[in-house]
Amino acid sequence: MPDMPETGTPPNGSAKALPYAGLRVVEFTHMVMGPTCGMLLADLGAEVIKVEPIAGDNTRKLIGSGAGFFPMFNRNKKSLAVDLQTPEGRELVLKLVATADVVSENFKPGTMKKLGLDYASLSKLNERLIYVSHKGFLPGPYDHRTALDEVVQMMGGLAYMTGRAGDPLRAGSSVNDIMGGMFGAIGAMAALAAREKTGKGQEVQAALFENNVFLVAQHMMQFAVTGQPAAPMPSRISAWAVYDVFTVKDGEQIFLAVVSDTQWAVFCEAFGLQELRADPRLQSNNDRVRARDWLMPLLRSQLAGHSAAELGAVFEKHALPFAPITRPQDLFEDPHLKATGGLAPITLADGERAGQTTSTVLLPLTLGGERPGVRMNPPRLGEHTRELLQELGYSGEAIAALQAGGITR
């Protein structure tokens, strides 16, 4: 599939311009956190230029659980490959940054300063520049530490809440990296709004640890309100009596929930459990929570003979909450995602399947009833270098010399 034009309009032919069409973002990012920020702005219409080393962003080469990072978080971007360790490379990038509205980075503290690409240096050249730094920690006692999503999940209470007691477990996605990038983008949006009023840019900082603390803040406040520590999710006292995974016919599993007194009445009627509905020990949700020790085994026994599909059909018919236990790969064929345009085709740039088309997941929002789509595939390394250098005024001879000298690719 060829690259789609950088038009700032959705791929369905709508004449609506995306909100950040005309905005230029230059990003020095890798892995997930920084690229997520750029992807959000790119999906919303910004021209996002990914500055990569000559050898390419190492994220392109990851295998295992990292294999999906680059294709997921780098769509709708251009790639400029340049050696920032050379004076010529830095000069080139400074010319590019002079044309930017936003610079985004997520390297270790001090890296950008050594290159002369920190906010203090760049803001002197352009006071309207918005500079987004994605770090492990906001400035403070921990900011010298190396942070990873798993590190902050462990030290920030999320792994404790996710695993069983005595068995901390990281969440099954890069939640802090992704959300940290989202907060970086939100900060950039706020700074853009402020610039409309003041004419000046500013530095925005987002951090993994602080993001993680925000995620567990509800449990902190639970302790503040009740005086009781929050229990890990597998051993928590649920707020609702029926709110659990059930193993049913042929070993299938399904999540079922009954979270109100009205739903309890509907549930009992649907499954012929009138005796339970009439039981004076089960009249309110709190009564049923207190009865979970004997109620849940009884319900598991009553439902065990049904298939997951049968239970799902009954719950759906009566507007009761339920969910099949789905694997990520199954979502490519999810009928709702397919019907609502939640998936879009892209061509892979790297790896064993480079050049092949697959589907990617779009932002979970609509603008005017439309999902912001894919305008450009995840870029090949240096795919847009020549185009961008020409735009900056470099001649064909100068571009050839930079490439021959290994300064660009």
Report the distance separating Cα 385 and Cα 365, nearest Å. Answer: 32
The pLDDT score that the predictor gives to residue 238 is 84
Secondary structure in 3-state letters for 30-98:
CCCHHHHHHHHHHHCCCEEEEEECCCCCHHHHCCHHHCCHHHHHCCCEEEEEECCCCHHHHHHHHHHHC
Q: Which of the residues in the chain have pLDDT under 70?
A: 1-15
CA 79 from chain centre, in angstroms, equals 21
Residue intervals in the chain for CATH 3.40.50.10540? 24-216+334-404
Q: CA nearest 189: which of 52, 43, 72?
A: 43
Residue intervals in the chain for CATH 3.30.1540.10? 238-328
Secondary structure in 3-state letters for the chain:
CCCCCCCCCCCCCCCCCCCCCCCEEEEECCCCHHHHHHHHHHHCCCEEEEEECCCCCHHHHCCHHHCCHHHHHCCCEEEEEECCCCHHHHHHHHHHHCCCCEEEECCCCCHHHHCCCCHHHHHHHCCCCEEEEEECCCCCCCCCCCCCHHHHHHHCCHHHHHCECCECCCCCCCHHHHHHHHHHHHHHHHHHHHHHHHCCCCEEEEEHHHHHHHHHHHHHHHHHHHCCCCCCHHHCCCCCCEEEEEECHHHCEEEEEECCHHHHHHHHHHCCCHHHHHCHHHCCHHHHHHCHHHHHHHHHHHHCCCCHHHHHHHHHHCCCCEEECCCHHHHHHCHHHHHCCCEEEEECCCCCCCCCEEEEECCCCCECCECCCCCCCCCCCCCCHHHHHHHCCCCHHHHHHHHHCCCEC
The pLDDT score that the predictor gives to residue 75 is 98
The pLDDT score that the predictor gives to residue 12 is 44
- Contacts (Cβ under 8 Å, ≥6 apart) of 257: 240, 242, 243, 244, 320, 321, 322
Catalytic residue among 177, 279, 287, 334: 177
The pLDDT score that the predictor gives to residue 239 is 87
Reply yes or no on whether 177 is catalytic: yes
The pLDDT score that the predictor gives to residue 237 is 79
Q: State which CATH number among 3.40.50.10540, 3.40.640.10, 3.90.950.10, 3.40.50.1100 fits the domain covering 24-216+334-404.
A: 3.40.50.10540
Torsion angle defined by CA atoms of residues 328, 332, 336 and 340, in that order, rounded to the nearest 10 degrees:
120
CATH of span 238-328: 3.30.1540.10
> pLDDT tens for residues 12-42?
444 478 999 999 999 999 999 999 999 999 9
The pLDDT score that the predictor gives to residue 235 is 86
pTM, full prediction: 0.93
Q: CA nearest 137: which of 185, 208, 186?
A: 208
The pLDDT score that the predictor gives to residue 347 is 98
The pLDDT score that the predictor gives to residue 1 is 32
> pLDDT tens for residues 137-167?
999 999 999 999 999 999 999 999 999 999 9
